[in-house]
């Protein structure tokens, strides 16, 4: 649609399709076939060149793994799958524009969404001299009109009037919005989901999965990066894990309803947090939690290129030096539950924590510690009483 509008406006267009792993995450048409389809579709619609770039490994290394170290969860529940892809899309647009000597880049975002902000900020941070074209923002079409435009111009679209969802997906998750979901009282229908098994299609029994971390980077079953995430999407998705339904606060100030499926993201973030609790100090954990929240807000708000995000990465990287170990989770009935953690850097000491024999905790020191720890409370309470009596 974007492409057709640009061509109709008289631009010479180089179409760019990025493989962000969307089709690795589900069974179905093979990725190569789908991507080649996108290339041929672009040329048929009038693009002068059409590039398909596999950016999956870069997406995982440069965006997903730093975000995992920050346990990213916007508004506590959304692991930022769509948001994390946008800085990479912006950066790749700039690379390709430079390679072809283009003076503008274009995106198909509307003016209501977050993605225009994220992509444009990423482009501007790298090359503020490039013009950004957004024809679907300048002359917006309703979804039914957009579907009609697509039919008229022979543009194949997956969205139909009966199922008019707007869908965005990559390795880290799938987002579904619009259609019947616009009524926040309407429960998400099963046809909105593609990666997670419906309640009546989940296996009766659960299964365990073990995630190994090496300096904060996950691996498991001999897999890492792209393959691990793709495999976990299938495995955890099969148990119905990863469904999220959020009334979220958009950057542009409005609330919207978005449904997500992010099986691997939820499993990996749960595992990563569990390992952090085992190896990081109490003070590190207390400081990291609000910083993680801030990190998620920066990513959501399109501020990935900000110096603050880079500084937070440096903090997380320093802690990740000790983030080596393993976490076991039980996958069953829509839930991933951590059932065990182990690490050579564990700060947990069974000899100190045990209520059994072999206890090495200094019980004799506890009474004195408690008296001094409570001293400020005693002093404050006495002062309150004195003031009350005097008044």
Region of 1-9, 46-54, 175-183, 324-332 interacting with ligand ARG (CB under 6 A): 175-183
Which residue, 24 or 168, is less far from ligand ARG as judged by CB?
168
Smallest distance from ligand ARG to CB 159, Å: 10
Q: Of 26, 38, 167, 291, which one interacts with ligand ARG (CB under 6 A)? A: 167
Q: Residue 292 in contact with residue 71, Cβ under 8 Å? A: yes
Which residue, 114 or 235, is less far from ligand ARG as judged by CB?
114
Q: Of 19, 177, 212, 217, which one interacts with ligand ARG (CB under 6 A)? A: 177
Q: Of 71, 175, 233, 235, which one interacts with ligand ARG (CB under 6 A)? A: 175
Smallest distance from ligand ARG to CB 97, Å: 23
Q: Residue 108 in contact with residue 136, Cβ under 8 Å? A: yes
> Any idea what DSSP says for residue 106?
E
Smallest distance from ligand ARG to CB 83, Å: 4
Which tokens belong to 364?
Answer: 């004799």
CA proximity to 249, closest of 91, 74, 382, 108: 74
> Any idea what DSSP says for residue 192?
G
Q: Of 19, 24, 168, 261, which one interacts with ligand ARG (CB under 6 A)? A: 168
Contact flags string 81-100 toward ligand ARG, x per CB under 6 A: -xx-----------------
Alpha helices (H) along the chain: 2-8, 31-44, 56-58, 65-69, 81-100, 115-126, 135-138, 143-152, 225-237, 263-279, 282-300, 307-320, 350-353, 363-373, 375-390
CA proximity to 230, closest of 174, 299, 165: 174
Q: Of 24, 212, 217, 258, which one interacts with ligand ARG (CB under 6 A)? A: 258
Under the binding rule (CB under 6 A), the answer on residue 235 touching ligand ARG is: no
Which residue, 14 or 84, is less far from ligand ARG as judged by CB?
84
Which residue, 177 or 261, is less far from ligand ARG as judged by CB?
177
Q: Residue 192 in contact with residue 175, Cβ under 8 Å? A: no
> What residues form DSSP beta bridges with 259?
176, 245
| Residues binding ligand ARG (CB under 6 A) | 82-83, 114-115, 166-168, 175-177, 258
């Amino acid at each position: 649609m974007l492409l057709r509008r640009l061509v109709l406006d008289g631009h010479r267009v180089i179409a760019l399709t990025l493989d962000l792993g969307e089709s690795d995450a589900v069974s179905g048409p093979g990725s190569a076939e789908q991507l080649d389809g996108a290339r041929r579709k672009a040329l048929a619609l009038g693009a002068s060149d059409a590039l398909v770039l596999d950016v999956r490994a870069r997406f995982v290394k440069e965006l997903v793994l730093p975000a995992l170290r920050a346990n990213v969860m916007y508004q506590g529940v959304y692991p930022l799958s769509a948001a994390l892809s946008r800085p990479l899309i912006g950066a790749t647009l700039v690379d390709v524009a430079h390679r072809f000597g283009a003076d503008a880049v274009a995106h198909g975002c509307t003016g209501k969404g977050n993605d225009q902000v994220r992509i444009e900020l990423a482009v501007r941070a790298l090359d503020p001299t490039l013009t950004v074209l957004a024809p679907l923002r300048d002359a917006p079409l309703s979804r039914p009109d957009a579907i009609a435009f697509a039919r008229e111009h022979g543009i194949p679209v997956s969205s139909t009037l009966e199922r008019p969802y707007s869908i965005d997906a990559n390795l880290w998750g799938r987002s579904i919005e619009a259609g019947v979901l616009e009524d926040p009282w309407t429960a998400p229908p099963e046809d909105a989901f593609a990666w997670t098994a419906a309640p009546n299609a989940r296996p009766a029994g659960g299964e365990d999965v073990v995630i190994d971390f090496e300096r904060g980077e996950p691996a498991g079953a001999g897999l890492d990066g792209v393959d691990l995430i793709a495999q976990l999407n299938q495995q955890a998705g099969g148990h119905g894990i990863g469904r999220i339904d959020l009334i979220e606060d958009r950057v542009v100030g409005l609330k919207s309803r978005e449904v997500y499926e992010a099986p691997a993201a939820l499993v990996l973030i749960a595992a990563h947090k569990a390992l952090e609790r085992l190896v990081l100090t109490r003070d590190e954990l207390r400081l990291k939690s609000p910083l993680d929240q801030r990190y998620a807000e920066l990513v959501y708000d399109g501020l990935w290129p900000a110096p603050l995000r880079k500084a937070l990465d440096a903090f997380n990287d320093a802690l990740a030096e000790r983030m080596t170990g393993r976490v076991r989770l039980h996958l069953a009935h829509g839930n991933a539950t951590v059932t065990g953690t182990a690490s050579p850097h564990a700060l947990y000491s069974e000899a100190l924590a045990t209520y059994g024999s072999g206890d090495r905790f200094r019980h004799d020191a506890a009474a004195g510690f408690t008296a001094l720890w409570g001293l400020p409370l005693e002093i404050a309470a006495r002062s309150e009483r004195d003031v009350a009596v005097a008044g």
